[in-house]
Amino acid sequence: MAHVVAPLDQPSNYKDSQARIDRLKQVDILSKSTTLYIGNLSFYTTEEQIYELFTKCASPEDGGGIKRIIMGLDRNTRTPCGFCFVEYYTHAEALACMRYISGSKLDERVIRCDLDLGYKEGRQFGRGKSGGQVRDEHRQDYDPGRGGWGAQAQRMEIERRREAEERYADVQEGPGAVATGGGDWKEAENNVVEVKLKRPRSLDDEGDNMRMGHRTRLDEDFDGERM
Amino acid sequence: MSYGRGGRRRYREDYDDRRREIHETPEQKIKSVIIKFGEVDPVAELPRVEKQIRDHVPLNIPNLSEAFRLSVTEQPYKIPYYAALIRLLHEQPDYSDGTSLGRLLLEDFWKGFQSYLDKLAWRETRLCIQFFAHLTMAKVISPDSMIALLQAFTSVLDEFGVSLGRAKRAAMCAAEGLMFAGPILKFHSTSSVTDMINALQTYNDTMNSPKWLVQSTVSLYCDNPFNEHADELLDSLLNSLKALNDSDFSETSNIIPQPYSDYPPLDPSLSQFNLPSVLVPPEVIELDGLSSNPGEDIQLKKEEWPEYHIHFFDNEISPDPNTPAGYVVRTSLLDLIDIFEVNRKECARLLLEYPKWNLPGTFKPKPGAPVEMEPVPGKDWQLESTILETILGAYLILPEATHKSLYYISLITELCKLSPSTVGPALGKSIRKVYTLLSDGLDVDAARRFADWFAVHMSNFNFQWVWREWLGDLALPVQHPKRTFMRRAIEFEIRLAYHERILKTLPEQMQSPDMYIISEQAPGPDFEYDDPGHPYHAAAQTVLNLFRGRSKAEDVISSLDGVKRELENVDDPGMNVDAAVRFITMQSLLHIGSRSFSHLLNAIERYLPLLRNLASAGMSSTGGSGNYEAKMDILTACASFWKQSRQMISIVFDKLMQYQIVDPTDVVAWVFLQGSGLGDPHEIRAPSSLSAFQWDLLKGALDKANGRVLIAKRKVAALRKEDDDTRARAKATANTMEVDADAKPEESPTVDNPALSTALKAFSTLTQEQKAVLSRTLEGFAAYLAPSASDHHANPATRVVITGEGWNNRADWGRDEWAAWETWGWYRQFCRAYSPYLRNYSNTLSTVSFSRFEGSTDPAAELIRRTWNVATGQDA
């Protein structure tokens, strides 16, 4: 059955960008694969939560089951960075996940599954510049389940903050420290306009509001359901 | 938006655009015209598609008929319109010999049907028969040949020893053909139609015993199934068919579209198509476990049972499947659920679109949609409620559903995402209805699946449930199925999320630990020797430090003697030093592996020799069958360490079996030794009874043993095939080439492959283990359910709950009664779910386990035996 609709258990355009295997061989491996790549996990999701959901696609009576789970870790901090590999004993179990789990929620996030070529040493670590996943380098949104801003955005924010802090390092106190910008037109006189110095406005004041305004991109909202 | 280099990957959850643009040939184009036909307005599209087919050159009949075949078998909701299309292609003689294009297509279509039948592809066969039935009504197919076709299927019911599954499917083929073509067939030959209906009825009358074992709501005390809340598939089929027959099939036009019904009479020069005669081929029977041909699917054939679908809405809300219209709606939806299992998103969409394929007025119009016609009296059903009832009916079939549980669950999730405002309310109502059934004897396995669905569903929808409305049920006894359900659903929710998250979804009264709904603490390990006041604290620290220092397994083994001496000095009168060493070692190992599943695996793998040493009571570190007491101690230590996280108990047991530290039989023995609700607070534990959690452990062990046999069997089959191939090649080489000393075939045909003999030996060992685990389970149940008078731990209620009087007094039942009732339920599940395996050993197993019941009139013993006999097909 697959003539009328596209089955969900076909390999997608997901791939291991560092795999050094030719395309045909990859297709062959995937057609027997027992390993899944799981993406868009929250950094806080545990292996036991993953086990609980994925064990529902296991077929122990068929000689299957969850063989192991390999949690994706940040290369530098050794903390979960939002992906993992789930390895089963049989290919059919991996396919079942593609059909029934991919696109559903775990720990209140929509996760995705993809057939994988199989775990190789080193693949448990993020490949992004900052140690996490590449996608978290470039992410533009605020995602509380994945450490807030994307790594580049975080770096940019740190940079902006540093610039902001340095920018006013030369600030002075006392009369005349703040320019007036010029007053109303007046007859040429010698009056000096005095302005009281207030606390310089911090960038943080605005930053927080901005964060609140952002919505989590991947976390779909299905609240419409009324029971 | 740009992701820089990462932009080439897509992270959205919608994969629908995976289909690549493919250049279509004209052949593919006309095929897709046929397959996609009707998506907007089938009746209006008919003439256009007819013309496109006629105009298409060159004529390629196999290509066209394949499109029809795919359409009929994969889009059954369009069958009436495909029949109409064939009829339009059969209006006049298109060729000099007087045949029509429609006839040519049908001739080729028949070849496809024949190959479905040869493969015993039942669903495809049945859908083709529906198609033929419409064509009979459209006067394209001759009634005589249609009757003969259907008779081929009813004759299956008279085969000697016909399997239930085969009979059920053949009956559906025949009965649906009769329902759809009845108006013409009965007019043509009343007696043939009546005879077929009688044959179906006669067969169905023999099905009472198996029905009793798989009914959705349990009546332990009465011999006949009662169907207050569920409908059996064949029963529904027969009731509907008989209702149609009573009206001489005048109602057929009110249950299915017949777009061809007002077409002008056919050109009399055109002869009707006669379906060739067929025989339904016999099933391939596997005589012994290893005789199957290599390459064949050697999975054990699942036992087929009557199919009860629960029915919880009133007949005004969802159709009664015992009526013709209701039967059609339900089977059409079931076909969709089955066919589109490969793509749950498409399936959800098609389910919600189903009304457009049935007759107008069958379902209430969508809210806000213009009311185009008056509601049809007796119909006007609610689409979403009907869909949910049908999915849940298929999900809760006993002993198990056709597809994995998660399919039905995620299909419902997709429906909710597609149309939250209409599916949401129907979903809430469905949950409440099934919850109500818990008080009326909903089968324990159905109840367990209900909890599983509930938790996964809530996990997809922010854990929003109005728990408040079940507050009143907290007054029920702790083991009442409703209380058990709440406890279990919450436990499953916590496993998918975390304790704090779920706790805050509950009303305050339910949060109290006295209510036994949610545990006080988050699930976690419990290392009992952590307490410096514990007498074994020092010894445990010694072992723990060895593990923490990553000492070698051999070093830990040799250090354990010192620990043992240390313990002998501890003042603890009840102490068994060997057991204490095992407890301390096991718990310390689990302690270092307690941070995650991976940590557990690493800890086990690093210390396998140590674990083998422990399991053999110090006799060996290389494996072997181990020491029974030592293995019981290991399991007890694990269960005690993880007593606050039952999920981890299951995981640890599974991996201990996987690494062959304990055998499945050990796990079964251990479960029955526990005697009461494992992991539950003491207050709610009833004696000698099984809860769903203990059943999960049993199931884990049984499945492990059965799965191993299957793997071994596959291996033997593969090696045999390899062997055969080698021999064949050797033979061929010998025949075609001159045999000189260098070119001698490596394997002489008389010497067996050593890998094969190893595999055969493994197969025989694992088969023994399989038999042992089944036997131990059966014994355990017999001891729990029909305890001897001297059993001090017996559940006093086990004989009360199986009487009619007992059941009728269930409002007064307490903890022990409900727990006993649940244990009976798990025994039923064991017998029916594992019946294909049990049948293999039924004589030996029953002789051993039931010997003490010989001549007994104990009603419990009789019920145990009766259940067993029905499950193993030995009931008279």
Of A12, A101, A139, the CB nearest to B406: A101
pLDDT tens for B532-579 read 999 999 999 999 999 999 999 999 999 999 999 989 888 777 789 999
CB-based contact B420 A64, cutoff 8 Å? no
Looking at the structure, tell me whether residues B133 and B186 fall in a common domain: yes
pLDDT tens for B505-514 read 999 999 999 9
Looking at the structure, tell me whether residues B242 and B189 fall in a common domain: yes
pLDDT tens for B707-753 read 999 999 999 999 998 888 888 888 887 776 655 545 444 544 445 68
CA distance B876 to B873: 8
Looking at the structure, tell me whether residues B142 and B66 fall in a common domain: yes
The alpha-carbon gap from A216 to the nearest alpha carbon of chain B, in Å, equals 13
CATH number of the domain at B388, please.
1.25.40.180
Q: Considering just the CA atoms, what is the radius of gyration of chain B in Å?
A: 32
Q: Which residues of B touch A137 (CB under 8 A)?
A: 4, 6
Confidence of residue B682 (pLDDT cuts 50, 70, 90): confident
Report residue A91 CA to chain centroid gap.
28
pLDDT tens for A185-199 read 655 554 444 444 444
Residue B753's pLDDT is what? 83
Can you give the residue range of the structural domain that contains B177? Answer: 26-254
Residue B597's pLDDT is what? 95
Q: And the tokens for B86?
A: 């064939």
Report residue A47 CA to chain centroid gap.
18
How many structural domains is chain B composed of?
Answer: 4
Long-range contacts of B469-475 (CB under 8 A, 24+ apart): B470/B435, B471/B507, B471/B509, B471/B510, B474/B509, B474/B510, B474/B515, B474/B517
From residue B599, give the alpha-carbon distance in Å to each of A48, A70, B498, B571.
11, 10, 19, 34
CB-based contact A64 B707, cutoff 8 Å? yes
Residue B22's pLDDT is what? 63
**Is B710 at the interface with chain A, CB within 8 A?**
yes
pLDDT tens for B57-97 read 899 999 999 999 999 999 999 999 999 999 999 988 888 88
Looking at the structure, tell me whether residues B709 and B670 fall in a common domain: no
CB-based contact A62 B406, cutoff 8 Å? no
Residue B518 domain-assigned (yes or no): no
* Closest-CA residue of chain B to A133: B6
**Is B1 at the interface with chain A, CB within 8 A?**
yes
**Is B404 at the interface with chain A, CB within 8 A?**
yes
**Is B452 at the interface with chain A, CB within 8 A?**
yes
Give the residue ranges of DSSP H helices in chain A: 23-30, 47-54, 91-100, 134-138, 151-167, 203-213
Q: Beta partners for B154?
A: none
For residue B432, the surrounding DSSP H or E stretch is helix B420-437
Report domain extents, chain A: 23-125
Of B1, B5, B10, the CB nearest to A140: B1
**Is B488 at the interface with chain A, CB within 8 A?**
no
Looking at the structure, tell me whether residues B682 and B707 fall in a common domain: no
Looking at the structure, tell me whether residues B344 and B208 fall in a common domain: no
Identify which of B755, B656, B652, B650 has the alpha carbon closest to the alpha carbon of residue B700. B650
Does A31 score more than 90 pLDDT?
yes
Q: Which residues of B touch A222 (CB under 8 A)?
A: 416-417, 420, 460-462
CB-based contact B465 A65, cutoff 8 Å? no
pLDDT tens for B317-348 read 999 999 999 999 999 999 999 999 999 999 99
Residue A12's pLDDT is what? 80
Interface of B with A in 493-552 (CB under 8 A): 495-498
Does B521 score more than 50 pLDDT?
yes
The number of C-beta contacts closer than 8 angstroms across A and B is 188
Q: Which residues of A touch B345 (CB under 8 A)?
A: 8, 103
Looking at the structure, tell me whether residues B551 and B439 fall in a common domain: no
The DSSP secondary-structure symbol of B442 reads B
Residue B299 domain-assigned (yes or no): no
The mean per-residue pLDDT over the stretch B816-834 comes to 96
ipTM (interface predicted TM)? 0.92
Quick check: helix, strand or coil at residue A70? strand
Where is average pLDDT lowest: B94-103, B385-394, B435-444, B775-784?
B94-103
The alpha-carbon gap from B402 to the nearest alpha carbon of chain A, in Å, equals 13
Of B6, B465, B498, the CB nearest to A138: B6
Residue B326 domain-assigned (yes or no): yes
The alpha-carbon gap from B94 to the nearest alpha carbon of chain A, in Å, equals 30
Q: Tell me which of A16 and B690 has the higher pLDDT.
A: B690
Does A51 score more than 90 pLDDT?
yes
The alpha-carbon gap from B79 to the nearest alpha carbon of chain A, in Å, equals 14
Interface of A with B in 99-158 (CB under 8 A): 99-108, 110, 112, 134-135, 137-140
Which class in CATH covers the domain with range A23-125?
A: alpha beta
Does B194 score more than 90 pLDDT?
yes
**Is A5 at the interface with chain B, CB within 8 A?**
yes
CA distance A18 to B756: 39
Report residue B821 CA to chain centroid gap.
23
Looking at the structure, tell me whether residues B594 and B707 fall in a common domain: no
Residue A220's pLDDT is what? 37
Residue B219's pLDDT is what? 78
Does B176 score more than 60 pLDDT?
yes
Residue B9 domain-assigned (yes or no): no
The alpha-carbon gap from A3 to the nearest alpha carbon of chain B, in Å, equals 7
Quick check: helix, strand or coil at residue B670? helix
Cβ atoms of residues A118 and A27 within 8 Å? no
Q: Which residues of A touch B421 (CB under 8 A)?
A: 224, 226
Q: Which residues of B touch A112 (CB under 8 A)?
A: 11, 13
Confidence of residue A2 (pLDDT cuts 50, 70, 90): low
Looking at the structure, tell me whether residues B768 and B681 fall in a common domain: no
Residues 6 or more apart whose Cβ sits within 8 Å of residue B791: B688, B783
Q: Which residues of B touch A52 (CB under 8 A)?
A: 492, 495-496, 647
Quick check: helix, strand or coil at residue B373? coil
Interface of B with A in 320-349 (CB under 8 A): 339-346
Looking at the structure, tell me whether residues B666 and B764 fall in a common domain: no
**Is B170 at the interface with chain A, CB within 8 A?**
no
Residue A177's pLDDT is what? 61
Residue B523 domain-assigned (yes or no): no
CB-based contact B431 A227, cutoff 8 Å? yes
Residue A127's pLDDT is what? 86
Q: And the tokens for B794?
A: 């017996």
Looking at the structure, tell me whether residues B230 and B335 fall in a common domain: no
Residues 6 or more apart whose Cβ sits within 8 Å of residue B169: B122, B126
The mean per-residue pLDDT over the stretch B423-432 comes to 97
pTM: 0.89
- CA angle (B741 as vertex; B738, B745 as ends), nearest 5: 75
Cβ atoms of residues B505 and B463 within 8 Å? yes
* Closest-CA residue of chain B to A16: B9
CA distance B650 to B698: 10
From residue B76, give the alpha-carbon distance in Å to each of A4, B119, B335, B391, B802.
12, 20, 8, 18, 45
Residues 6 or more apart whose Cβ sits within 8 Å of residue B481: B438, B439, B442, B447, B818, B822
